[in-house]
Amino acid sequence: MVAMPVFATEPYSAPTWLPGGNLQTLYTAAFLRGPDITYRRERWEWPDGDFIDADWVDAEQDNAPIVVLFHGLEGSSQSFYARDLMDVVKQKGWRGVVPHFRGCSGEPNRLPRAYFAGDVAEIDAMLKHVKAEYPNAPIYAVGVSLGGNALLKWLGDTGEHAGELVKAAVGVSAPLDMNAAGHALDGGFNRATYTARFLATLKKKALEKAKRFPGALDADAIAAATTFQEFDTLVTAHLHGYKDAEDYWTRTSSKQGLKNIAIPTLVINAKNDPFLPASALPAQQDVSSSVTLEQPDEGGHVAFPSGPFPGNIDWLPQRILGFITSGQ
| Residue 10 resides in a domain | no
Q: What's the whole-model pTM score?
A: 0.95
Dist CA 80 CA 82 (whole Å): 5
User: Which of the residues are catalytic?
Assistant: 145, 273, 301
Provide the percentage of residues in the chain whose pLDDT is more than 90: 95
CB 242 within 8 A of CB 236: yes
* pLDDT at residue 6, as a whole number: 42
Beta strands 51-57; 40-45: pairing state: antiparallel
The mean pLDDT value for 171-196 works out to 98
* pLDDT at residue 107, as a whole number: 95
Which of 92-101, 198-207, 318-327 shows the lowest mean pLDDT across its residues? 318-327
CA distances from 165 to 36, 85, 133, 172 (A): 29, 21, 12, 20
* Residue 328 pLDDT level (bands cut at 50, 70, 90): very low
Asked if 115 and 60 sit in the same domain, the reply is yes
| Residue 242 resides in a domain | yes
CA distances from 288 to 4, 117, 146, 174, 190 (A): 11, 21, 21, 17, 32
Asked if 98 and 80 sit in the same domain, the reply is yes
Per-residue pLDDT reduced to its tens digit, 67-96: 999 999 999 999 999 999 999 999 999 999
Dist CA 82 CA 272 (whole Å): 22
Query: Could you tell me how far CA 327 lies from the centroid of its own chain?
Result: 22
Asked if 160 and 194 sit in the same domain, the reply is no
Dist CA 162 CA 100 (whole Å): 21
Asked if 190 and 57 sit in the same domain, the reply is no
Asked if 206 and 295 sit in the same domain, the reply is no
Asked if 33 and 145 sit in the same domain, the reply is yes
* Residue 3 pLDDT level (bands cut at 50, 70, 90): very low
150 by DSSP, 3-state: which? helix
Asked if 150 and 197 sit in the same domain, the reply is no
Alpha helices in the chain (DSSP H): 21-31, 80-91, 120-133, 146-158, 178-185, 188-190, 196-212, 219-224, 228-231, 237-240, 245-252, 315-325
Per-residue pLDDT reduced to its tens digit, 226-276: 999 999 999 999 999 999 999 999 999 999 999 999 999 999 999 999 999
Asked if 92 and 193 sit in the same domain, the reply is no
- The residue from 233, 252, 271 where one domain ends is 252
Dist CA 63 CA 328 (whole Å): 14
**Strands lying side by side in the sheet with 51-57:** 40-45, 51-57, 95-99, 66-70, 139-144, 168-172, 265-268, 291-294
| Residue 58 resides in a domain | yes
- The residue from 223, 252, 281 where one domain ends is 252
Spatial neighbors of 124 by CB under 8 A, at least 6 apart, are 154, 158
Could you give the number of structural domains in the chain?
A: 2
* pLDDT at residue 221, as a whole number: 98
Considering just the CA atoms, what is the radius of gyration of the chain in Å? 19
Asked if 101 and 226 sit in the same domain, the reply is no
Per-residue pLDDT reduced to its tens digit, 268-315: 999 999 999 999 999 999 999 999 999 999 999 999 999 999 999 999
| Residue 219 resides in a domain | yes
Asked if 288 and 311 sit in the same domain, the reply is yes
| Residue 16 resides in a domain | no
User: Residue 93: left (phi > 0), alpha (psi -120 to 50), or beta?
Assistant: left
- Cβ-in-10-Å burial (0-12, 13-18, 19+) of 40 comes to exposed
| Residue 207 resides in a domain | yes
Asked if 165 and 302 sit in the same domain, the reply is yes
CB 236 within 8 A of CB 263: no
Does position 7 have pLDDT exceeding 50, yes or no?
A: no
Q: Please, what is the average pLDDT of the chain?
A: 95
| Residue 1 resides in a domain | no
Task: Supply the range of the domain harboring residue 33.
Answer: 21-177+259-325
Asked if 56 and 169 sit in the same domain, the reply is yes
- The residue from 227, 252, 277 where one domain ends is 252
Among residues 119, 116, 99, the alpha carbon closest in space to that of 53 is found at 99
> Can you say whether the dihedral through the CA atoms of 196, 201, 202, 204 is positive or negative?
positive
50 by DSSP, 3-state: which? coil
| Residue 7 resides in a domain | no
Residue 316: CATH number of its domain: 3.40.50.1820
